Chains A and B, each alone.
Chain A
Amino acid sequence: MRTMRNRRKIETQMERQNRHKAMESVAVLDKLKNDFSKPLEAMNYFYDLFERVYCKRESLHDRSVKVGTLCIQVPYEIIYALDAVPVRLCNGFHTDDEIGSDFAPSKACPLVKATVGQFSSGNFVDRPDLVVSPTTCDQKSKAGAIIESMGYPIYDMEFPRTKESEESREYWRRSVRKFTKDLSKELGVKLTRSKLKKTIRRIGYAQYLYHRLNTLRKSDNPPILGVDMFLVTNAFFFDRLESWIEAVERLVEECAAKTEEESATYQNSPRIVYTGSPPIFPNLKIPLLIEQSDGLIVADETCSSNRMFNDMISVDEWFLYDMVDSISDKYLKGCTCPIFTKNSDRIRRIINLVKEYHAEGVVYQAFAGCQVYEMEQRSVLSAMEKEGIPILYLESDYSPSHLGQLTTRIEAFIESLKNRRRKKACAISQE
């Protein structure tokens, strides 16, 4: 009896968390791999990557210094140029969300709770040596302090909440210059002109690849699913830059060939622009529901995808002084984050995406507890109404419940888009 008990292995808390997280990952990856027809060969790299990191818990950067980032405003170019690796720690796991619930109000944003939760469990594949927290939204700013109290070194990077004024531009430029100096000191690495130039171009090339993929999505025969795109951009959070670039190069090639093929894969699916709170692996719930209901996400306006890649850096004089300032402008000026006072840029972006990608409707998701997205909802909805663009507003969180209700609403929305299409076709044929 006694020997029996000793032999049975008791699962530690961390092992249990990891088992749950692996289960969450596998569930999503299985859907991505099996639920859709004509999968892309090049996507296998990404399916494998997520399985390796989140199920097998393989480390990708065990020899490098890792700088954890909590928002997209932390300049990747500077971190790479200082021989460190940026790892974005915005988290999408329900398991971590539940752990984090002990540290934040129950109505807080699930993304913030999950991020805090992961820090509290200390359960990292690639543990960050330093965490940079830009002061973007209230919840993230405060999360930085909570994470610090858990014993992690946190660097608060001051970020302005308006972006139109010259003062805010200068303020943010100073913030970035200071960050560059401090990080360089902390890591004991000197920032050189050639290194920074190289990383600017390297990341620029990654963005260029992303834009090439997007251009293909504009065609009548979009070659790639929105959920796959989210997986690709999510991988940029933590993957080795070189491998990511190679994988996306292959993906672009395959997609370009597929677009030229005559048989359209998703021709009858209503084209959708996705906006709002960021889907982060494995919380791809809403994009998956959309595409399982025969919608097709052709473009998005979220910080886990488009907003990370959209704006590119232009440098006039390739010296440190101009490069660092140009980098800071990129992370502030074009950003369409809802934390800013005004949101006209975000609305213009969504409308532009709808036009350029010939989308037929917009799905706006806000995490329950994400105040800024919830507050912008009305203005975006009325702007879309004015433009005659159908829009569906959804509130969701990381929990696996409510799926039925969400499915019903999404299916109804997509059905209505199909009806609109039919009516339009009728009207044209009658003329």
Chain B
Amino acid sequence: MNRIRDAINRIDLRKFRFWIQLFFFVLFVYGAYFAIDLGRELPIFSCGYNRETGGTCYFLALQHQLARPWDRLFSTASIGVLTGFLTFLAWFIIFNKAWCGYACPLGTLQDWITSFRKMLKIPYGTYSQSQYKALKKIKYIFLFIVIVFPLLLGIGLLDGEWRGAFCKMCPGRLITPLFTGDVSQWTIDFSTNTAIFLTTFGLGFTVLFFVGSFIKKRFFCFFCPMSAMHYIFSDWALLKLRKDGEKCTKCGDCYNVCDMQIKDIADDVTSKNILRDDCIFCMKCVAACPEEDALHVDILNMKVFTSTKGGFTKRMGMDKPNKDENDEK
């Protein structure tokens, strides 16, 4: 048992993530080819506009369901809305935000763009703390659009052209179908002014997605309303990211590798639950922590992956003398 645990803690997280992400990317982008359908309640941006998807983003269904007239929304006819939500919760609770870091096709794509940038040896960009604090609020505005706009539609305060407003703005609608050869979404809908605005926004956001994630690691995730939605329910999740502040030296190694620039991961030594709203649960921080058990991933109260000196030094290539001579290509 100890040996297994030790092997897990020494895992090469980069490789582990790469293969899992590839698996989920194929599953969610090409799932239909294998006759896989995991439903319409997935807590990731696996877009339903892609006809070959192996399971659909919950926001597509949610916006659709919430847009019904209020008298019907609050009647027994809407039990489906409730079960849909519960299914979403059930999916989410298993993996917590690890859906973002491991399963979301858009997230994976951004990591691949990062790898491409690395191949070109171009440094990544970062936000200053003030920019960061301003930008991180945007995802809550999007979440507001996802949930409140359909409700307003239901009572007739908004016109039908606002139906599925967020989807029209979301880069996922344009990007995921691309992988199955469908470019039909790359258009501007000139039918009404609202449609022009929404689809132009979507197109612009998509361009920004590619440019942004080339410069900034996980650029889009700062704005993702699904990430905001996750955070609301993350306390109930089974998978936890925990920190033992006593053991933390605040060295900032975790902060240094964090794609989302979450400062609390290094500086907060009092909270036990260190998951923050921007977190994508990639576990890079745990892998980069040199202190024994300072950061760990728990299922219920069992540590499944924890920071160890041995794991750290192995991953950084510091556990053996002259390690470079063998692995330098």
Contacts and interface: CB of A to CB of B under 8 A. Distances in A.
**Main SS of chain B's interface residues?**
loop
B121 interface: yes
A358 interface: no
Interface string B297-329: 000000000000100110011111101100010
A345 interface: yes
Given A312-B313, A314-B312, A333-B252, A166 B246 contact: no
Contact of A317 (B118, B249, B250, B251): B118
Interface stretch (A129-137, A289-297, A319-327): A319-327
Given A208-B318, A317-B124, A330-B251, A348 B257 contact: no
Centre residue among A164, A166, A205, A345 by max chain B CB count within 10 A:
A205
A207 B257 CA distance: 20
Interface stretch (A100-108, A193-201, A231-239): A193-201
A351 B253 CA distance: 21
Nearest to A322: B123
Nearest to B124: A317
B105 interface: no
Contacts of B279: none
A311 B123 contact: no
Interface in A303-323: 310-317, 319, 321-322
Interface string B259-274: 0000100110100000
Contacts of B253: 311-314, 326, 329-330
Contact of B246 (A164, A330, A333, A351): A351
Interface in A225-277: 245, 249
B267 A316 contact: no
B6 to A, nearest CB: 14
Contacts of B246: 348, 351-352, 355
Interface string A323-357: 00110011001101000000001001101100100
Contacts of A326: 253, 256
Contacts of A351: 246
A311 B324 contact: no
Given A208-B309, A311-B290, A351-B246, A201 B316 contact: yes
A334 B321 contact: no
What is the size category of the interface that chain A forms with chain B?
A: 35 or more
A351 B312 CA distance: 23
B324 A197 contact: yes
A6 B320 CA distance: 59
Contacts of A329: 251-253, 256
B257 A201 contact: no
B251 A201 contact: no
B320 A205 contact: yes
Nearest to B328: A194
Nearest to B257: A316
A256 B288 CA distance: 27
B252 A334 contact: yes
A208 B311 CA distance: 11
A211 interface: yes
Contacts of B324: 194, 197-198, 201
B247 interface: yes
Contacts of A390: none
B19 to A, nearest CB: 19
A43 B145 CA distance: 69
B16 to A, nearest CB: 16
A39 interface: no
Contacts of A166: 128-129, 263
Nearest to A325: B256
B250 A333 contact: yes
A245 B321 CA distance: 9
Given A211-B309, A333-B266, A314 B250 contact: no
A204 interface: yes
B92 to A, nearest CB: 28
B323 A201 contact: yes
Given A205-B320, A312-B316, A315-B316, A164 B256 contact: no
Centre residue among A208, A311, A322, A326 by max chain B CB count within 10 A:
A208
**Main SS of chain A's interface residues?**
helix
Interface string A104-132: 00000000000000000000000000000
B317 A314 contact: no
A198 B323 CA distance: 8
Given A164-B267, A198-B324, A334 B251 contact: yes
B250 A334 contact: yes
A326 to B, nearest CB: 6
B303 to A, nearest CB: 17
Given A333-B252, A345-B249, A312 B257 contact: no
A310 B253 CA distance: 13
Given A208-B309, A312-B312, A312-B318, A334 B123 contact: no
Contacts of A208: 309, 313, 318-319
B11 to A, nearest CB: 16
B328 A349 contact: no
A249 to B, nearest CB: 8
A321 B123 contact: yes
Contacts of A204: 313, 316-318
Nearest to A207: B318
Contact of B123 (A197, A215, A312, A319): A319
Nearest to A335: B251
A314 B316 contact: yes
Contacts of B249: 310-311, 334, 336, 345, 349
Contacts of B312: 312, 314
Contacts of B247: 352
Contacts of B269: 348
Contacts of A334: 249-252
A99 B201 CA distance: 73
Nearest to B244: A352
A330 B252 CA distance: 8
Interface string A46-87: 000000000000000000000000000000000000000000
A347 B319 CA distance: 29
24 contacts: A164-B267, A166-B129, A201-B317, A202-B321, A204-B318, A208-B313, A215-B309, A245-B321, A249-B321, A311-B253, A312-B313, A312-B318, A314-B290, A314-B312, A317-B124, A322-B123, A322-B124, A329-B251, A329-B252, A333-B251, A348-B245, A348-B246, A349-B249, A355-B246
Given A205-B321, A352-B246, 16 more contacts: A166-B129, A204-B313, A204-B316, A204-B317, A208-B318, A245-B321, A310-B249, A311-B251, A311-B253, A312-B290, A313-B253, A319-B118, A326-B253, A329-B252, A333-B250, A334-B250
Interface of B: 118, 121, 123-124, 128-129, 245-254, 256-257, 263, 266-267, 269, 284, 288-290, 309, 312-313, 316-321, 323-324, 328
